[in-house]
Copies of this chain bind each other. A is one copy, B any other.
């Protein structure tokens, strides 16, 4: 069972104990970083014992991977769902961005951990992650690309750069977004989508 989290087998079928541990881990990782967080701190925060943790997870790294995994699967599923709606290019871009901003906002800790610690994935998992990301980027880029070719969107900025910029903004969001801030996630999503679409209309 090397290289695979025991719990990762059945998707979304986390036991109560697993999600309890993961919830504590995410909070601590987001607060202090992965390396600076002790396994002992995690089990204390989750009010379980080390034995319990290592009963469900093979290694500390697996906690990280579970966090990535659940976030990415959810994002990929959302993307596919949006694409399937077959909206206009502009509406698709808007839907993708609003959705991304909203899920990122509702799962800030996970998103923050993700962007800060993703380079700690081992080779295999990193490769899997890159593949997912590539697919996400490509899908997004094609939406813009086709719209540009069809004259629906402007061509001032190349599609690939636009994707990098748009997704970069979202990835950076956990750094400055505060749930108690003046703007709701929905409003932020709208503003960011407005921004990107305004740029792409030129």
Residue numbers in B under 8 Å from A173 (CB-CB): 168
A202 at interface, CB cutoff 8 A? yes
Q: How long is the Cα–Cα vector from A157 to B196 in the complex, in angstroms?
A: 10
Q: A interface, by DSSP: helix, strand, loop or mixed?
A: helix
A52 at interface, CB cutoff 8 A? no
A36 at interface, CB cutoff 8 A? yes
Within the complex, the shortest CB–CB distance from A155 to chain B, in Å, comes to 11
Residue numbers in B under 8 Å from A117 (CB-CB): 33
Cross-chain contact of A198 among B188, B192, B202 (Cβ < 8 A): B202
Q: How long is the Cα–Cα vector from A30 to B165 in the complex, in angstroms?
A: 22
A158 at interface, CB cutoff 8 A? yes
Interface residues in A98-132 (C-beta closer than 8 Å to B): 115-117, 119-120
Once A120-B33, A198-B199, A199-B198 are accepted as A-B contacts, the answer to whether A169 and B165 lie under 8 Å apart by CB is yes
